[in-house]
Amino acid sequence: MAEPDAPAADRPDAAHLPPDGVPEAVVEAVGGVTAAFEVVEHARGMLYAFHRLIGRADAELAEALDRLEAAGHADLAEEVRAEVVGRNVLAGRWTFQVVEDFDDGYHRAFADAERRVRDELVAGRRHVHESQLKERNRTHGRPGHESRPGPTG
């Protein structure tokens, strides 16, 4: 850890220090809850990517079917259009409905739980465990290894 009399750039800011009296085991456990939520956030990003990709594929298919029709294959184009374009990806759902259900259900519950754990155990502070890891792993006093950003200007 940084020395108490080290310059400010060589110490974590107060928002990333555990409150007085919080044991390391609690900080580590809270960090684990946050890390699990970060995996959910990654999955959420992939779900949004899925949403965007399916929309793009549907639009591209519709355009390709227009070209197929213009090339003299109207019957085949219409059969494929009727079967696939605008089809639900899950029973009764387009991808926007899947995203909304995920956001309003699982994601919201997990986000609320992660915040509750941080609020109750580390005064709502974020990434306290990671800040401690940084302090243990960085080379103190070396350029590029500062604890936090210095003044901008």
Closest of 40, 49, 35 to residue 118, by C-alpha = 35
Instruction: Give the per-residue pLDDT at 149.
Output: 86
Instruction: Give the per-residue pLDDT at 4.
Output: 59
Rg for the chain, CA atoms, rounded: 25
Within the chain, how many helices (H) and strands (E) appear? 5, 0
- Specify the 3-state DSSP secondary structure of 90: strand
Q: Are 54 and 85 in contact (CB under 8 A)?
A: no
Q: Give every CB contact of residue 86 below 8 A, 6+ residues apart in sequence.
A: 58
State yes or no: pLDDT of 134 exceeds 70.
Answer: yes
d(CA 89, CA 57): 12
Percent of the chain at pLDDT exceeding 90: 84
Instruction: Give the per-residue pLDDT at 49.
Output: 98
Q: Return the structure tokens found at 34.
A: 């946050």
Kindly report, residue by residue over 5-62, the tens digit of the pLDDT.
Answer: 666 667 899 999 999 999 999 999 999 999 999 999 999 999 999 999 999 999 999 9
Domain boundaries, the chain: 22-137
State yes or no: pLDDT of 75 exceeds 80.
Answer: yes
Q: What is the pTM of this model?
A: 0.84
Instruction: Give the per-residue pLDDT at 120.
Output: 98
